[in-house]
Structure 1
C-alpha cells in the first residue's frame, strides 16, 4: 500500500502526459480517419479496455466509433445499429455496469469466451447540442475501475469536440457546395436571360427595319398613284368642263376622242399601279415567311 501511495503521483504524471499527447494529436486531426488513427494509437495508454464504443448523436446525424485491439470501425451515416442498452442510457442517463454482454457488441471483434469476468460499462454524456453514449468492455486482463472515469470523460470531451468541429466543417463544405451550385445555376439563368434579351432586341430591330421598308414602299405606291393618275384625271375633268361651252357636233368630233384617249391612259395607269402594288405586297408577304 505504501509503494502504491508513493507511485500515485508518478502514475498521475504519466497519465497526464499520455493524455496531453493524445489531446495534441486529436487537435491536429482534420478528418475522421485521422481521429480514428489517433484513438487507435493512444487510447490504450490512457485506459484499459477490450472494446470501447462511442456513439455521438447530433440532430438527425449519428456517428459511431468502435475500437477493439488494433481494429477500428466508424460510421457517420447512421447505418450502425443502436443497442438496447444505449437507448436505455439515452433515456435515463444512469451509468451502466453489467455482466450481460450483448452478442452484437463483440461479434466480429473478439471471442467473449476468452475474456475473464467481462464487465460492460456505459455512460451518457449530455453535451448541449449533442449526446454521447460511451460503452466500454473490460475484464480482469484489461480492467477498468471507477477511478478511470475521470480520464475517460476527458477523452470523450476531446473526441466529441473534435467531432463537432469536423461535423461543422463538413456542413459548411456542403453548404458552400450548395451555394456554389446555386450561384452557377443563377449565372446560367442570367446568361440565358441575356441571350433572350439580345435575341428579342435583334428581332425588334429586324421587325422595325421591315416596317420601315414597308412604309417606304407604301409611300412609293402612294406617290405613284398621286402623280401618274393625276395627269389623265385632270385632262378628263378639263374636257368635261368644255362640254358646257361647245355644241354637240364639236363635242362629238373633238372632245369625245380626247376624253376616250385620256380615259384609256388613266386605265393603263391604274392597271400599272395595281400591278405594282400587288407585286410589292407579294414581296412583303414572301419576306415575312
Structure 2
C-alpha cells in the first residue's frame, strides 16, 4: 500500500513539474504560433489524448485550437464552425462522456480504424465571463480518466489566459495603429488648413494693398481736379460779381468775352480731369483683371 501511495505521489510530482514547465513556457510566449509550439511539445506529457480541441468565444467570433498527433491547428472563425455537441455544451453547460462523436472532429486528422474504443469528453468552462469549450478524444491506447480533469483545467486556464493576453495586445495594437493613422490624418488636415489660412492672409494682404493704392490714386485725382478747376471757377465767380458795377455795353464788350474765355478754359480743364480720371480708373480695373 505504501508503495502505491509513494508511486502515486511521485506521479503527481512529475505531472505538476511538467505542468510548471508548460505554464512557464506559455507565459513567455509572445504570439499564438509560439503557444501552439509549446502545446505541441508539452501537452503529450501532461494528459493522454488523441485529439484535444478548445473553442473560446471572443467578440462574436470563435477561436479554435486543436492538437492531434504531432500537429496543431488554430484559427479565429465564425460560429458556423462550432460542432453540434459544442452548441449543446454551451447551451446546457453539462459535461459529456460518450462513445459517439462527429466525423468532422477527426476528419483529415485521424483514421477512425486506428482508434480502439474511442471516448469523447466535453466540458464548458466559464472563464472571466468567457465560455471555453474543451473536447478531448481518447481511447484505450491513450486513456483519459476523471483524475486527469484537474490538470486539464489548469492547462485550459493557462492557454485561455495567454490567448486573452495576446488577443488584447493585438486589439490594442490595431487601435493604436488606427489612432496613429487618425492622428496623421488630423495633422495632414491641420497643415492643409494652415496653408489655406496662410493663402487667405496673403490674398487679403494683397487685396488690402490694392485697395490702399486705389484710394491713394483716387485722392490724388480728387486733389488734382480741385486744384485745376479752382482757378477758372474763381475767375467766373469774380466776373459774375462785376456785372453789378458795369452797364450793359461794358458787360457785353468787356465782361462777357472774359466770362466766355473762363468758361471755355474751365470746360477744357474738366475734359482733362475726366480723361485723366478715366485713364486712372481703367488702369486700376486692368490690374483687377
Normalising by structure 1, report the TM-score. Answer: 0.96
Deviations 1:201-255 (A, max 9, x none): 1121112111111111111111012100010011111112222211222222222
Q: Is the 8 A contact 2:93 2:124 kept in 1?
A: yes
Q: Is the 8 A contact 1:53 1:136 kept in 2?
A: yes
Q: Is the 8 A contact 1:95 1:124 kept in 2?
A: yes
Provide the aligned C-alpha RMSD in A. 1.5
Deviations 1:32-64 (A, max 9, x none): 111011001100000011111000112323211
Query: Counterparts of 1:50-129 in structure 2 under 5 Å?
Result: 50-78=50-78, 81-129=81-129
Q: Distance in 2 between matches of 1:146 and 1:88?
A: 21
Bigger CA drift: 117-126 or 7-16? Answer: 7-16
Q: Flag structure 2 segments of 5+ consecutive residues without an equivalent.
A: none
SS in structure 2 of the partner of residue 76 of structure 1: strand
Deviation of 1:3 after TM superposition, in Å, equals 5.1
Q: Is the 8 A contact 1:99 1:119 kept in 2?
A: yes
2:279 alignment counterpart: 279
Deviation of 1:128 after TM superposition, in Å, equals 2.3
2:244 alignment counterpart: 244
Q: Distance in 2 between matches of 1:79 and 1:130?
A: 15
Q: Does 1:154 align with 2:154?
A: yes
Bigger CA drift: 117-126 or 59-68? Answer: 59-68
Deviation of 1:266 after TM superposition, in Å, equals 0.7
SS in structure 2 of the partner of residue 246 of structure 1: coil
1:209 alignment counterpart: 209
Q: Flag structure 1 segments of 5+ consecutive residues without an equivalent.
A: none
Normalising by structure 2, report the TM-score. Answer: 0.96
Q: Distance in 2 between matches of 1:4 and 1:91?
A: 41
Q: Distance in 2 between matches of 1:99 and 1:222?
A: 112
- How many residue pairs end up in the alignment? 289
2:141 alignment counterpart: 141
Deviations 1:113-144 (A, max 9, x none): 22100111000000123110000111111111
Q: Distance in 2 between matches of 1:52 and 1:2?
A: 34
Deviations 1:169-207 (A, max 9, x none): 111111111211221122112112211221121121112
